[in-house]
Structure 1
Amino acid sequence: MDDLKAFVGNNRLLDSKTGDLDDSGRPGALLVLDPLAEGFGKLGEGPSRTVLLLVRNASGQLEKAAQNAKMVPCAQCGGIAGDPYSYAQVSKGQFTVVTEGGSREHWSNEYTFAYAPTQKDWQLHEVKREVTDQETGKHKALDLTPKDFGTMRFQDFDPATLPEVTLP
């Protein structure tokens, strides 16, 4: 069993998933790290979480490959729905992180990254954004691909640069 504590640092391990992140045939790990907070923060305020990607080096040890501190909002940033981190999943050569929240207007984001072996990096592959009015049932969804957002590396990804999905 790998010791993930060495990568957690001064954070709380919110989630971890294992799988072949870099299509190498060796299992890596995706960690979602939550900064340790003092007291209770205000709704909509607080530090974002860090998504950390770990891959195996030639000797089989896990090492940090990339990280992103903009993708998963703070614990109080999901509105009335609560913590906006929903889940992550890893499959061969790719991973997905899902966030959601809101109150009357429930929103969700699904970010999928695929490993690009020539760049030895993960690129944004697909984004699904949705919003539903819980009272009226109105729903709107956006499915975005690289033709919409261009080439975007995992560590440079900022959801704020993508089009928002809003109800009329």
Structure 2
Amino acid sequence: MDDLKAFATGGAKILDSQTGDLNADGQTDALLVLDPPSTANHKLGEGPARDVVLLVRDSSGQLKKFASNDRIVPCATCGGISGDPFGYTRLEPGQFTIVNGGGGREHWADEYTFKYSAEKKDWLIARVVRRVEDRDTGKQQRIELTAKELGAVTFGHFDPSTLPEVELP
């Protein structure tokens, strides 16, 4: 059994871990969401973001860190009154999805899907779904962006802050 805790360094804790064949090579890889150590009491909406780490097997069968991104999963207090905005991760052969959400009356949710490109030997953003709903009025808005609109952006370089916001009408 792999020791995924060995990849949670500097006092970080594993918030979520999923295993599966991330690059469609027949071997079991891993995706980690790491929660950094809390250094102080942060105000609502402030604090360190979480680090999402891709671990792939090398030729000897050992898991190695391939890439990471600390811009996808917001801080523990960044979900508004809904609390922690991290939702979940989902793995399928050759791809993975990360879901976040939060807010209060206006609840938001973001879903990011990355697919492995054998040509680039990396994961590229393939789909983004952003939603917002007014829980009192029931009004909703949603945008969906595909790889065509997003371009060939790798997991390690993906920054959700560059995407259009979804706003209620």
- The share of aligned pairs that are identical, in percent, is 56
1:116 aligns with 2:117: yes
User: Is residue 4 of structure 2 the alignment partner of residue 4 of structure 1?
Assistant: yes
Q: Distance in 1 between matches of 2:91 and 2:135?
A: 30
Task: Say how many residue pairs are matched.
Answer: 168
Q: What's the CA shift for 1:111?
A: 0.2
Structure 1: 4+ residue segments shifted above 2 A? none
Aligned to 1:164: 165
- Per the normalisation by structure 2, the TM-score is 0.98
What is the CA distance between 1:38 and its match in structure 2?
Answer: 2.5
User: In 1, Cα distance between the equivalents of 2:161 and 2:68?
Assistant: 17
Distance 1:95 1:153 in 2: 13
CA contact (8 A) 2:91 2:97 kept: yes
Unaligned runs of 5+ in 2: none
Counterpart position of 2:23:
22
Name the SS of the counterpart of 1:143 in structure 2.
strand
1:148, 1:106 → 2: CA distance?
25
Deviation at 1:147, TM superposition (A): 1.9
How far apart in 1 are the matches of 2:161 and 2:93?
27
Secondary structure class of the residue paired with 2:113: strand
- Give the equivalent residue in structure 2 for 1:138: 139
Partners of 2:54 and 2:151 in 1: how far apart? 22
More divergent stretch after superposition (37-46 vs 109-118): 37-46
Tell me the alpha carbon deviations over residues 32-64 of structure 1, each in whole angstroms, 9 at most, x when there is no partner. Answer: 001100243110000100000001111110001
User: Which digits, 9 at most, give the CA deviation of each residue in 1:114-144, with x for residues without a partner?
Assistant: 0001111000000011000000000011111
Tell me the distance in 2 between the aligned counterparts of 1:71 and 1:164: 15
2:88 corresponds to 1:90: no
SS of the aligned residue for 1:136 comes to coil
Whole-angstrom distance in 1 between the partners of 2:121 and 2:27: 15
